[in-house]
Amino acid sequence: MRDDPRRALAAAAVALALVACGRGSSSPRPLDDARATAPLSAADAAAAPIAPGTTVRSVTGVAERRVGDAWVALQIGDQLGINDQIRTAEGAATELDLGGETLVTIGATSELTIREVSESVSNVMLGSGRVSAQVPAGSSKIRLETRGGSAVVEADDGEFSAIASGSGDVTVATTKGTARLTSSGATVAIARGRQATARAGEAPSVPVPIPASLFLKVKPLGGDLRETVVRGETAPGAVVSINGVRMTTDADGTFDTRLAALEGDNVIVVFVEDASGRSEQKVLRRTVNRRPPPVKAEVTW
């Protein structure tokens, strides 16, 4: 009797489902998504092509990948697929081996999508957050795109880090070799010890030395009963997160934003991180009282 190919496919699907369910039993809590972490279904696993040699080398904290509608806990040794989206929680990190030589480390509260891994190029997209890459000489070129903009980072040999706000702005710092940053038809070469920034829709800035230190200065909170004004200054090229919402500083490192003022105690957390991975945080508080003052009336009979 000839083997029924449909029966073989069904058996393979069952095997994949059993493996996925075992992995899902240790899934972490969800990140900022309302859906719970789910095991990878057989259908999703079959639909996700494997990126050749793309392996999870290390995981710290809560890190997950998305295939279809499923969020799966990353584990050391996992083989990743084309279009797999990876996200990390606060305090987490994961290192990926792309093709056996190129290493990419995804920092905390970051999102990365694998686009292509071949003998000639490893193409990934940074949604938001920070990544660093090590590209040995003779390995495949790395190409890093950013969500919301046209900026592209490329390197054939060396080490660089990139931080993105999620709105298309990106800052790239090189620690070894040379990285190329292209945006709006213009390209700059970023040599070791220098960094450059590309804002959405704009050409890259002229590379400058990486700041010797990261600092964060926040001015006293302003505003009225309707809004709170947050102003401050940090190292140029750093990304500021105010109550979890990322924003890019101006060219001189200043930032200015407004938040809705809530009745009672308002807690504002200002967190700043640069492409080199340095970070600093300040917590500010403001009390808003919209209640009218008590009216005192004296009646004389």
H or E stretch covering 16: helix 5-24
Residue 234 near residue 217 (C-beta atoms within 8 A): yes
Please check whether residue 219 is in contact with residue 234, taking contact to mean a CB–CB distance below 8 angstroms.
Answer: no
- How far apart are alpha carbons 135 and 127 in whole angstroms? 21
Task: Please report the pLDDT score of residue 62 as a whole number.
Answer: 95
Q: What is the DSSP letter of 6?
A: H
pLDDT tens digits for range 173-232 = 999 999 999 999 999 999 999 999 999 889 999 999 999 999 999 998 888 888 999 999
- Condensed to tens digits (0 to 9), the pLDDT of residues 111-151 reads 999 998 888 888 999 999 999 999 988 777 899 999 887 89
67 contacts 50 by C-beta, under 8 angstroms: no
Nearby residues of 276 by Cβ (< 8 Å), 6 or more positions away: 161, 173, 175, 210, 214
Contacts of 121 (CB under 8 A, 6+ apart): 140, 141, 142, 143
CATH of domain 28-209: 2.60.120.1440
Q: Class assignment of domain 216-288?
A: mainly beta
Task: Measure the CA–CA gap between 120 and 40, rounded to whole angstroms.
Answer: 30
Looking at 37-41, 147-151, 234-238, 281-285, which range is the least confident one?
37-41
pLDDT: which is higher, 140 or 274: 274
Query: pLDDT value at position 100?
Result: 67
Dihedrals phi, psi of 21, to nearest 5 degrees: -65, -40
Please determine, for residue 51, whether its predicted confidence score (pLDDT) is greater than 60.
no
Whether residue 58 has pLDDT greater than 50 = yes
CA distance linking residue 208 with residue 202, whole number of Å: 17
On whether the CB atoms of residues 202 and 170 are closer than 8 A, the answer is no
CA distance 123 to 175: 20
Name the residue with tokens 């009216």: 295
- In this prediction, residue 11 carries a pLDDT of 43
**Domain regions of the chain by residue span:** 28-209, 216-288
Average per-residue pLDDT for the chain: 82
